[in-house]
Amino acid sequence: MKKPYPLSNLKGKVVLVVNVASNCGFTKQYATLEALYKEMKSKYPNQFEMVGFPCNQFAGQEPGEDDAIQAFCTRDKGVTFPILAKTTVNGANAEPVWEWMKAEKPGFMGLKMVKWNFEKFLIGRDGKVIERFNSRYDAPDLKPYVVKELEKKA
C-alpha cells in the first residue's frame, strides 16, 4: 500500500497535475513530461512540482495495482516525479482534489469532468487553477504556460 502524499508538500509551488495511465496512446507523454519536470526543477528549484494520478476510468487503461504502476513508471518510463496511488477522477467516488480542479476550470462547454487520460491542470503558487489542458497537449505545449507562471513574482 502506498503511503499518503500530503498535498501540503505543494504549498507555494507551481504544480502540474496529470491523470496518467500505463496502457494509453498518450502514455508516450511520460518521456516529455519527465523532461519538462527535470528542466523546471533544475531552473526553478523548490518552485515547481508535477504530480501524476493513475486512473483506470478510461477504457481500463490503468489496470495494475499501485506497486505495478510505480514499477512501470520508474523502471520502464524513467519517471522521477511523484506518481500517487490509483485514483478516481470522475463520478460519485472522485477524489476531492479532482472535484475542486474540475470546478475551478471546467472543460469544453463547461463540462465538469475529465474526458480522458493525460488531462492536465496547472496550479499557481496561490493555489488557484490557472489552466486546464486536454490530453493532446504534450509537455512542449505546456512549457510556456509553466514558465510564465514560474516567472511571476511570488
Burial letters for 5-25: b for 16+ Cβ neighbours within 10 Å, e otherwise?
eeeeebeebbbbbbbbbbebe
State yes or no: is 24 an active-site residue: yes
User: Which helix or strand (DSSP H or E) is residue 64 part of?
Assistant: none
Among residues 15, 24, 55, 122, which one is catalytic?
24
Pairwise CA distance, residues 88 & 29, whole Å: 20
Rounded (10°) angle between helices 139-151 and 29-43: 20
User: Could you tell me how far CA 38 lies from the centroid of its own chain?
Assistant: 15
Active site residues per annotation: 24
